[in-house]
Amino acid sequence: MTHEIVQYHNDFNTVPLRGFSEREKRIVMALLHQVKNKDTEIVKIDFDSLRSLTAWNETKSHASKQEFVTYLTGLSKKIGQLQGVLRSENGLRSIVFNLFPTFIIDGEKTNTLTVRINSEFKYLTNLFDMFTAFELEDYNKMSTSYGQELYRLIKQFRTTGFYRVKIEELRHLLSVPEKYSNADMDKRVFSKTTIIDLTNAFPNFKIKQERGKGRGRPIIGYTFTFDKEKTNQYEIDRKKEEQIAQFWKTDEPEPMPTAVSQTEYQNPELRKQKKETEKHSAGFGDLLKGWFKK
């Protein structure tokens, strides 16, 4: 597999993929790879490219075309139900969205998968501000579902070497079942296999539990540290990312801004709309029109 780079806006990290299998996530990432920086609403991918990008031949070498089409059909239905949510910092405004609303799978004539992108959220793949980037091959090496989700979250801070998150926010981003206590989450999310995979992916990778005050000093968050990426292969705006690192970095466990407030901090379009909304009272329909980057 060649060194294919996956890039998408950081807002896409608010879309939890925990319910997807490892291979299903590979296909989602392959779609993001194909649509990045393309000013179009329609993207067509041939089956051979899709198999290569997702390492399908390595994991299911004897699968027939019919099996592949059946698999893509089921996955398309699943992705069609996948929803992301953008929330304002105070929780009083939110947008629920789907990035890929339509799939056409043709195994008869063209052997292609055609995907339509939600035009109102093309900014997630047509990058104009902060974005997450990584090599698809490295992502495919993550052997656990939690590991894949943590990998893409941590990669958002690849040039800062520092990621700090509240446990409630991490539970949401990883779709951790409500029945898991924080102690259970600590054991299940950060399994030995997941830690080994992340350590191999990020040099000098370390995890620190953030604990609160009171009886038992409960876990309230996590801090991830690792070596910064020093190359410019992804054409990163490093000055902005350093500002994000300082925005988050503090010696005290509290306060820690949520990922949503961080997203709003990063996204000038959301910041602009927040200021406008504070000035003028608007209906929900008018607010939506203003939030979308045309």
E strand or H helix at 45, and its extent? Answer: strand 42-46
- Separation between Cα atoms, residue 192 and residue 179, nearest integer Å: 21
Look at residue 201 in the predicted model and tell me its pLDDT.
87
Residue boundaries of the structural domains of the chain: 5-124, 143-257
Instruction: Return the structure tokens found at 78.
Output: 């699943």
* CATH class of this structure's domain 5-124: mainly alpha
- Phi and psi dihedrals of 15, rounded to 5? -90, 110
Q: Which CATH number fits domain 143-257: 3.40.50.620, 3.40.309.10, 1.10.10.10, 3.40.50.20?
A: 1.10.10.10
Element housing 261 (H / E): helix 259-266
What is the structure's pLDDT at 290?
43
Distances 159 to 76, 98, 109, 207, 215 between C-alpha atoms, Å? 33, 29, 45, 17, 37
Residue 74 amino acid letter = G
Identify the bridge partners of residue 197 per DSSP, sorted by sequence position: none
Give me the residues paired with residue 210 across strands: 221
pLDDT of residue 197: 92
Contact partners, residue 216, CB within 8 Å, separation at least 6: none
Question: What's the pTM value of the predicted model, to 2 decimals?
Answer: 0.46
Helix (H, G, I), strand (E, B) or coil at 97: strand
What values do phi and psi take at 80, rounded to 5? -60, -25
Question: What is the pLDDT at residue 198?
Answer: 93
- 159 phi/psi in degrees, rounded to 5: -95, 0
HSE, side-chain direction, 13 A CA sphere, residue 17: 25
Q: Are 264 and 271 in contact (CB under 8 A)?
A: yes
Q: Answer yes or no: same fold for 5-124 and 143-257.
A: yes
The strand pairing partners of 224, in sequence order, are: 163, 207
Check residue 176 and give its pLDDT: 86
Q: How many residues does the chain have?
A: 294
What is the pLDDT at residue 244?
A: 45
Query: What is the model's pLDDT at position 252?
Result: 46
List, run by run, the mean pLDDT of 10-residue segments along the chain (294 residues).
47 61 74 65 82 64 78 85 70 75 88 81 51 61 84 81 88 84 83 92 90 83 87 48 47 42 43 44 37 37
Query: 3-class DSSP state for residue 271?
Result: helix
